[in-house]
């Protein structure tokens, strides 16, 4: 089974330093929804692993997070695609939990739930945490320059083998052109 794991904010939708706190604030990045549909059309399953510390910080509650994800799932479906699973970590960095990226807990949970070995699974993100989690599970780290991606790239020190793309759509082009 082919699988791609995506970060949410900055990869699928526009990111905000003030957090995405409501469905109205969730705005897809141009081409991202269609890119997910293209992955599905090529036989890939798509999972989302997203840090959502705004929950623990009290900036949004679970009902708001669920409403945001419902909007995202509907938007992807309207573009002809689907997301198989969404995993989120509601904790802040101070919690030192196993699920908050760069810890690989969410990715391991995705692999277990979908019964997929994570070695060489493409993991697409815009931050050092996303890339580190990918490496921790033996995945392929892909950096997109949307969201925090330009700052991540400028800071350097990317994990070995990280591939860099303008956005999710161009990353998917590369995935689909690889035999």
Catalytic residues: 7, 9
Buried/exposed code over 126-156 (b: 16+ C-beta within 10 A; e: otherwise): bbbbbbbbbbbbebbbbbbbbbbbeebeeee
DSSP for 76-122?
HHHTT---SEEEEE---GGG--SSSTTSSHHHHHHHHHHT---TT-E
What is the distance in angstroms between the CA of the first residue and the CA of the last residue of the chain? 15
- Nearest CA-CA partner of 134 in 166, 87, 102: 102
Q: How many CB atoms lie within 10 A of CB 108?
A: 18
């Amino acid at each position: 089974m082919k699988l791609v794991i995506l970060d949410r904010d900055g990869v699928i939708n526009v990111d905000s330093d003030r957090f995405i706190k409501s469905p109205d604030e969730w705005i897809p990045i141009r081409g991202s929804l269609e890119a997910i549909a293209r992955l599905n059309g090529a036989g890939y399953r798509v999972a989302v692993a997203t840090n959502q510390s705004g929950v623990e910080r009290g900036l949004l509650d679970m009902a708001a997070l669920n409403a945001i994800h419902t909007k995202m799932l509907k938007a992807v479906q309207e573009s002809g695609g689907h997301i198989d699973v969404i995993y989120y970590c509601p904790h802040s960095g101070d919690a030192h939990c196993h699920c908050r990226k760069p810890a690989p807990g969410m990715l391991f949970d995705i692999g277990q739930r979908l019964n997929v070995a994570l070695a060489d699974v493409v993991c697409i993100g815009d931050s050092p945490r996303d890339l580190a989690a990918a490496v921790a599970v033996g995945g392929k780290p892909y950096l997109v320059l949307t969201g925090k991606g330009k700052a991540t790239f400028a800071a350097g020190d990317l994990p070995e083998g990280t591939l860099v793309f303008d956005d999710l759509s161009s990353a998917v082009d590369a995935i689909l052109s690889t035999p």
